[in-house]
């Protein structure tokens, strides 16, 4: 399988997943904003010219959450997913999708307003609003993690999705000093050898 990857993007999740599962993969590296990602050839892989994307034989799939679900369903052999009969299964689904549904929208605004836009086009009101919303999103995780190491029982695909989003939020300056469970969770995840390898990829 081939992973289309750019460092410090959502594609880190996919490399992390493959490293946790011990699955072999080929890595095609890009830099965010590479003109090659707008080429007709690459747009056949990812129509938005982004990462991640995964090629598995004749199947190409993009959107990080979908890739995580696909790989775990097809190649996970029951790993990193609670059994559907488990009370943790609903929690798994909730936190698997929480990353993109709740954390990444304000993260995206912060990235655009503080990194991607030129200074004369930035809007501090948008940054402040997104930062406040992001704090609320992380607060819900902090409450849920009380007495827990991971989001849905054992370490799972939900931690790959939402744990990565928590790490990105903190790297962008989200204050987790009042969220000790989130702060400890981020440290716990980033101590995992598989995630260290994914960040280095």
Q: Where in the chain is the domain with CATH 3.40.30.10?
A: 2-79
The pLDDT score that the predictor gives to residue 34 is 86
The pLDDT score that the predictor gives to residue 33 is 79
Q: What is the dihedral of CA 5, 150, 134, 139, to 10 degrees?
A: 180
Q: What is the mean pLDDT of residues 131-148?
A: 97
pLDDT tops 90 at residue 58: yes
Q: Where in the chain is the domain with CATH 1.20.1050.10?
A: 88-199
> Could you read off the pLDDT of 35-57 as tens digits, one per residue?
889 999 999 999 999 999 999 99
Maximum CA extent, the chain: 54
| CATH, range 2-79 | 3.40.30.10
Q: What is the DSSP letter of 109?
A: H
How far apart CA 12 and CA 16 sit, in angstroms, is 6
What's the mean pLDDT when you consider all of the chain? 96
The pLDDT score that the predictor gives to residue 35 is 86
Q: What is the DSSP string of 8-50?
A: TSTHHHHHHHHHHHT---EEEE--TT-GGGGSHHHHHH-TTS-
pLDDT tops 90 at residue 30: yes
Say if domain 88-199 classifies as CATH 3.40.190.10: no
Question: In terms of DSSP bridges, do strands 2-5 and 59-62 run parallel, antiparallel, or are they unpaired?
Answer: unpaired
Q: At what angle do helices 88-98 and 124-144 cross, to 10 degrees?
A: 170
How far apart CA 105 and CA 86 sit, in angstroms, is 30
Query: How sure is the predictor about 198, in pLDDT bands with cuts at 50, 70 and 90?
Result: very high
> Could you read off the pLDDT of 95-119 as tens digits, one per residue?
999 999 999 999 999 999 999 999 9
The pLDDT score that the predictor gives to residue 187 is 98
């Amino acid at each position: 399988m081939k992973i289309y990857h750019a460092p410090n993007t959502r594609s880190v999740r996919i490399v992390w997943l493959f490293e946790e599962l011990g699955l072999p993969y080929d890595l095609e590296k890009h830099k965010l904003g590479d003109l090659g990602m707008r080429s007709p050839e690459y747009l056949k892989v990812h129509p938005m010219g982004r990462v991640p994307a995964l090629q598995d034989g004749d199947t190409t799939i993009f959107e990080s959450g979908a890739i995580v679900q696909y790989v775990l369903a097809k190649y996970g052999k029951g790993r990193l997913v609670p059994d559907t009969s488990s009370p943790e299964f609903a929690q798994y689904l909730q936190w698997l999708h929480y990353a993109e549904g709740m954390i990444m929208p304000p993260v995206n605004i912060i990235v655009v307003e503080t990194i991607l836009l030129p200074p004369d086009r930035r809007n501090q009101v948008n940054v402040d609003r997104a930062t406040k919303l992001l704090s609320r999103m992380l607060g819900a995780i902090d409450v849920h993690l009380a007495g827990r190491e991971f989001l849905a029982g054992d370490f799972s695909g939900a931690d790959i999705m939402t744990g990565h989003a928590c790490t990105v939020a903190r790297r962008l300056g989200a204050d987790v000093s009042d969220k000790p469970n989130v702060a400890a969770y981020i440290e716990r995840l980033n101590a995992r050898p598989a995630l260290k390898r994914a960040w280095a990829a």
